[in-house]
Structure 1
Amino acid sequence: MSSTESPDARTVPVVPPARSVHVGAGETVRTASLPGLSLTVRSRPPAQGGLPPALFVHGLGGSSLNWSALMAEVADRVDGEALDLPGFGDSPPPDDGDYSITGHARAIIRYLDASDRGPVHLLGNSMGGAIVTRVAAVRPDLVRTLTLISPALPELPPQRTALPTGLLAVPGVARLFVRMTRDWTIEYRTRQVLALTYGDPARVSPEVLAATVAEQERRADLPYFWDAMARSARGIVDSYTLGGQHSLWRQAERVLAPTLLVYGMRDALVGHRMALRAGRTFRDSRLLSLVDAGHVAMMEYPDTVARAFADLLDETSGRPGDPGEGSSVARG
């Protein structure tokens, strides 16, 4: 994962996305093309010039839309971008078919090298949290701070409610699931996902539900949707078995960037017990536990997560190696 494998930033064409995508108020969407890789990037103009860059990375089955609420909350602190990982959202599959945690991390590194935006404040949720942990470990020069929201770091044994997601990694299970649920409406399937990921699904507004249903309906028609889901789930499962220097927990120990850990105590996919282990493992960490949040705290409580993130920037501003602004989350 060296920077030498990325092209010069001036050679990367940036064009409008090929398909019609949902664009929230104040957001723009574009496609960044790299050799063998095309990434849809959602951005929100910062409140003022000169703010430090930030990059937001979604989890399994998600997209850059998962970050719209938080990006709006922190637009006065960072110049934010959220990308669709290869095969998700509006990004097509990667040419090499690599959906492993390392493959996704390589895509982020290539994008940051090519766009010349690093070092960035790097944020990841769920699978995205595992991905950005690997990025921060192997390319510390690209990361100012790290924010992990319910990161999918290896948890053994996993929560019982997380087992169906892990089963997607088994060859043929995704196809079987599609057959078994063919009578489900898109709205019903969406509500099931929201019930699994939100601490309180009643917090989902009718507007957000309608937009999510429309997005799920569009993505369900993509020929590679379930393949990307299954292969990425397999990548998560495989990351549980890696040992030595490739272990995600071993790589977490190597992260130098100041780290904010956000966990929901009603998370059905990542146990809150992992919060304490993460707090011990990341060398410069602070922990925010949200009593009523589930797996996607940045969507459920964007204002609370934004305040914690702003505190992190304030606390770390002016530290050696931090070229931007930066301030103070209670250590956990």
Structure 2
Amino acid sequence: MKRATLWPDHLLPAHHVPPPWPGREVRLDGAVTYVRETPATGPDAEPALYVHGLGGSSHNWTDLAGLLADRLDGQAIDLPGFGRSEPGRRYTIPAFADRVVRWIEHRDRGPVHLFGNSLGGVISVRVAALRPDLVRTLTLVSPALPFLDFRRSLQGRMLPLLAIPRGERLAAWRLAQLAPEAMAQQVMEACIADLTRISEQRRQETIEEIRIRYEAAHYAAAYVRTFRGLVSSFLLSYLPGSGSLWRLAAAIQAPTLVVGGRQDRLVDIRVAPQTARVIPDSRLLMLDGVGHVAQLEVPRTVARAVVGLLVETAERARRRDMAG
């Protein structure tokens, strides 16, 4: 593990708030997967794939992908049951990872620069470990890798739902009690340390995303079942066997950037440094005053670290080619 290198800020594109990328529905294995695409602005842009967190969507990557579009030709998918994608049959980490692998293979874009936030980080760890041929570099933003002290997470309040038969019905009822504006405010307060960093445009887009959730009858069940699958993966990681996410992380070959916020309220802040220690070729960026979704809260800082990773990786490949 080493400290992340930050690319000079003035070499990034000028600051602006881009609209959400254009999106479209793609039928994959009989179900609709919704994907947003960032048009590449550079001639040598390489393929990238962005994977959102629990309760999020492809919309969460708009700012970061826009800043990286001169180097990366980005796609962001809505996982099954989230955003505008149709529900899935299973909501486990292996099932989500299989969908990401199938997407990369279906689009024939690999190896990709793979990005994952929170739940998406866990999924990306599994993909990178089991299919190294599909991953060029890996960027993990507040990855929800295992921790057992749920007092360090606001999500700990949801644990009783997992013990209640058909807990998703209770979750759906709770969802119906709040107006989209109130739910959006709660989501942002949980995920973001400093709400003044979020533009009015992004606030309104978040409210619209919440409205979409309200219209999707499957959303509450997808959320609760996914949370149950995530907690199950935590428990398996501390038992013998091949299911441990920490063992998978240790097997990752791709150059990796791990980003964590010191004011993360959803994932134990000790997880990001531990992740970087476990992954062999890793760089760590810990951000003061930042919460769970650094790519939304401080996208320029995250972009600087990503470009640092990309430049280092390209230079390493160039030296290897010259030596060979």
Task: Report the TM range for the smaller structure's normalisation.
Answer: 0.7 to 0.9
1:106 correspondence with 2:103:
no
CA deviation profile, 1:113-150 (whole Å, cap 9, x unmatched): 11110000000000000000000000000000000000
Aligned counterparts of 1:26 and 1:269: Cα–Cα separation in 2: 25
**Map of 1:12 onto structure 2:** none
- Contact 2:143–2:271 (Cα < 8 Å) also in 1: no
Amino-acid identity (%) = 44
**Do 2:171 and 2:224's aligned partners in 1 also have CA atoms closer than 8 Å?**
no
Cα distance between partner residues in 2 of 1:322 and 1:42? 35
Q: Does 1:27 align with 2:24?
A: no
Alignment equivalent of 1:172, drawn from 144, 163, 166: 166
Distance 1:56 1:296 in 2: 13
Query: CA separation in 1, counterparts of 2:277 and 2:107?
Result: 34
Which is worse superposed, 229-238 or 131-140? Answer: 229-238
Residue type of the alignment partner of 1:99: Y
Letter in 1 for 2:121: G
- Structure-2 residue corresponding to 1:137: 129
> 2:159 aligned with 1:162, yes or no?
no
Residues 45, 69 of structure 2: 8 Å contact kept: no
5 Å-filtered alignment, 1:35-184, equals 35-94=29-88, 97-158=89-150, 159-170=152-163, 171-180=165-174, 182-184=176-178
Post-superposition CA distance 1:152-188 (Å, at most 9, x none)? 1011223142302444544433322443464322111
Q: Which has the higher helix share?
A: 2
In structure 1, C-alpha distance between the alignment counterparts of 2:223 and 2:298, rounded to whole Å = 26
Q: Does the Cα contact within 8 Å between 1:59 and 1:126 map onto a contact in 2? A: yes
CA contact (8 A) 1:168 1:233 kept: no
- State the AA in 1 paired with 2:309: L
Q: In structure 1, what is the Cα distance between the partners aligned to 2:319 and 2:118?
A: 26
1:259 counterpart (256, 262, 267) = 256
Q: Deviations over 1:179-213 (max 9, x none)?
A: 34643221111111111110122322222111111
2:6 is aligned to none
Alignment of 1:241-320 (within 5 A): 241-242=235-236, 243-320=240-317
Mapped pair 1:213 → 2:213: no
Q: Which residue of the partner structure matches residue 9 of structure 2?
A: none
- The count of residues paired between Structure 1 and Structure 2 equals 299
1:154 counterpart SS class: coil
Q: Flag the 1:320–1:181 CA change in 2: closer, same or farther, 3 A.
A: closer
- Structure 1 pair 90–257 and aligned structure 2 pair: CA distance change class (3 A): same
Residues 49 and 234 of structure 1: CA distance in aligned 2, closer, same or farther (over 3 Å) = same
**CA, structure 1 residues 182+42, in 2 after alignment: closer, same or farther (shift >3 Å)?**
closer
Pairwise CA RMSD: 2.1
Higher relative contact order (CA 8 A, sep 6+): 2
What is the rounded CA distance, in whole Å, between the counterparts of 1:209 and 1:250 in structure 2?
A: 38
**Normalised by the size of structure 2, how large is the TM-score?**
0.87
1:117 aligned partner, one-letter code? R
Q: Does the 8 A contact of 1:42 with 1:81 survive in 2?
A: yes
- For structure 2, the 5+ residue unaligned runs are 1-17
How far apart are residue 289 of structure 1 and its match? 0.5
8 A contact 2:193–2:290 mirrored in 1: yes
Query: Counterpart of 2:223?
Result: 229
> Residues 221 and 322 (structure 1 numbering): CA distance in 2 closer, same or farther, change over 3 Å?
farther
Q: Distance in 2 between matches of 1:194 and 1:240?
A: 25
Contact 1:169 1:237 in 2 (8 A): no
Deviation at 1:31, TM superposition (A): 2.1
User: How far does residue 233 in structure 1 lie from its aligned partner after superposition?
Assistant: 0.7
* Alignment-derived partner of residue 3 in structure 1: none
Map Cα deviations across residues 214-247 of structure 1 (whole Å, 9 max, x no partner).
Answer: 2201221111111111111111011012242111
* Distance (whole Å) between structure 2 residues aligned to residue 109 and residue 177 of structure 1: 30
The Cα shift of 1:286 comes to 0.5
Q: 1:285 to 1:31 in 2, by over 3 A?
A: same
Give the TM-score taking structure 1 as reference length: 0.85
Summarize the Cα distance change of 1:322–1:305 in structure 2 as closer, same or farther, 3 Å threshold.
farther
Larger mean Cα displacement after TM superposition, 224-233 or 203-212: 203-212
